Amino acid sequence: MQSALAPGGEEAGRIAFLTWILFAGAGAILLVVAGSLVMAMRGPERLRQALGGERAIRLGGIVFPVVTLAILLGCGVWLMRESLALGRPAALRIEVTGERWWWRISYPGSDGSLLADANELRIPVGREIDLVLHTADVIHSFWVPNLGGKLDMIPGRTNTLRIKADRPGIYRGQCAEYCGGAHALMALEIHAVAPDEFDAWLISTQAPRLGEGIARGQGLFQAAGCGACHGIRGTPAAGTIGPDLSRVGGRRFLAAATIPNSTENLVRFISRGQSVKPGNLMPEFRIFSDEELDAVAAYLSSLK
Ligand code: CUA
């Protein structure tokens, strides 16, 4: 499900096309080189002489690579011209910040505020979106192969990646720049949904829903100080160090697309997180009893 050869948008389509051109070109060159090699060893005397001469080396070793690489470069620049010069900003801009080792997401709220979320990016199908990429610490790289090329998140810089999904679906992405211990477990999902569904979701995300019977879990969450690092809109939890949990119960995965989202896995991550995602920056919370862990997990699962 994470493939640059199964494009779900225009940008990814151009990259896939370019990939096939390069593949075909490289294949043709391989055949020519292999053929020349065979001829140089087994061919007729005159041909062997010619292939071993200085002229063949100048032509095959200098002229040929310069010409072919220039053509391929030109082809690539021409195909990717729209990605290289973005022009006017897209109407919808979503901020994505690389963190060790998860993705901070900020949607623009209707009142101009920013709505915090994490690790699961929702976009409307058919609309151009600018992903405004930052990093909070080291260099990360944002890469969702089915929707576009990879773009680095560099300290002190803002990079903009324009994407557009042509069809609804779930597209997986992965940090594509080694960024330390849990780099391999820094994935995300992009959910491309119908535009009206997206608009409704964005409005509902301003005031997330709490489920029933979660008062005990909510109380434990606050008493243990979880809210110092994690934010949950509409509650006293206002931390911004870790991922926002306002809608954590609605995500498909936990810990940056590391394990499926379930109350059992929430319990595992809270109490034994280092075995789930080694090196992650959240300390293991062993202060809870089993019953308390279940209550906190039930509370988090109810946040949708
Ligand atoms: Cu972030 Cu690798």
User: Looking at the DSSP assignment, which residues form a beta bridge with residue 94?
Assistant: 131
Distance of CA 167 from the midpoint of ligand 1 (Å)? 27
Task: Determine the pLDDT at residue 89.
Answer: 87
CA angle 58, 60, 63 (to 5 degrees): 65
Q: H or E stretch including 204?
A: helix 195-204
Of all atoms in ligand 1, which is nearest to the CA of residue 176? 2
Separation between Cα atoms, residue 298 and residue 144, nearest integer Å: 31
Q: What is the pLDDT of residue 272?
A: 94
* C-alpha 235 to ligand 1 mean position (Å): 31
Query: How would DSSP label each residue in 76-110?
Result: HHHHTHHHH---SPPSEEEEEEEETTEEEEEEEPT
Closest ligand 1 atom to the C-alpha of 177?
A: 2
Residue 183 CA, closest ligand 1 atom number: 2
Ligand 1 atom having least distance to the Cα of 178? 2
How many Å lie between the centroid of ligand 1 and the Cα of residue 1?
A: 20
Q: Are 201 and 92 within 8 A, CB to CB?
A: no
Cα–Cα dist 165/7, whole Å: 9
d(CA 210, CA 218): 10
- Candidate CATH numbers 2.60.40.420, 3.30.70.1400, 3.40.50.300, 3.40.50.150; the one for domain 92-195: 2.60.40.420
Is the peptide bond prior to 102 cis by the omega test (within 30 degrees of 0)? no
Angle between helices 215-223 and 290-301 (to 10 degrees): 110
Residues flanking ligand 1, CB < 6 Å: 98, 101, 140, 175, 177-179, 183, 186
Looking at the structure, give the CATH architecture of the domain made up of residues 215-301.
Sandwich (2.60)
Q: Give the pTM.
A: 0.88
Q: Where are the alpha helices (DSSP H) in 8-99?
A: 10-42, 45-52, 54-58, 64-79, 81-84
Question: What is the 148 CA–ligand 1 centroid distance (Å)?
Answer: 17
Atom of ligand 1 nearest to the CA of 184: 2
**pLDDT of 270:** 95
CA–CA gap between residue 300 and residue 56 (Å, rounded): 70
Atom of ligand 1 nearest to the CA of 139: 1
Cα–Cα distance measured from residue 204 to residue 259, given in angstroms and rounded to the nearest whole number? 26
What residue segments make up the domains of the chain, in order of their start?
A: 10-84, 92-195, 215-301
For β-strands 114-118 and 102-108, DSSP reports them as antiparallel
Q: Give every CB contact of residue 125 below 8 A, 6+ residues apart in sequence.
A: 165, 166, 167, 168, 192, 193, 194, 195
Distance (angstroms) between ligand 1 centre and the Cα of 176 equals 6
Q: What is the pLDDT of residue 211?
A: 63
**In angstroms, rounded to a whole number, what is the distance separating the alpha carbons of residues 282 and 185?**
14
Q: Ligand 1 centroid vs 99 CA: distance in angstroms?
A: 8
CB of 249 within 8 A of CB of 301? yes
- H or E stretch at 115: strand 114-118
> What's the CA gap between 77 and 55, in Å, rounded?
32
List, run by run, the mean pLDDT of 10-residue segments along the chain (304 residues): 89 91 91 92 90 89 92 87 79 95 93 90 95 96 94 95 93 96 96 95 80 82 94 92 93 94 95 94 92 93 89
Question: Which protein residue has the closest C-alpha to ligand 1 atom 1?
Answer: 140
* 93 vs 200: CA distance, rounded Å: 17
Q: What does DSSP say about strands 140-142 and 129-135: parallel, antiparallel, or unpaired?
A: unpaired
172 secondary structure, DSSP code = E
Alpha-carbon distance 104 to 153, whole Å? 12
Residue 133 alpha carbon to ligand 1 centre in Å: 13
Whole-number Å distance, alpha carbon 153 to ligand 1 midpoint, is: 9
92-195 and 215-301 have identical folds: yes
pLDDT value of residue 97: 97
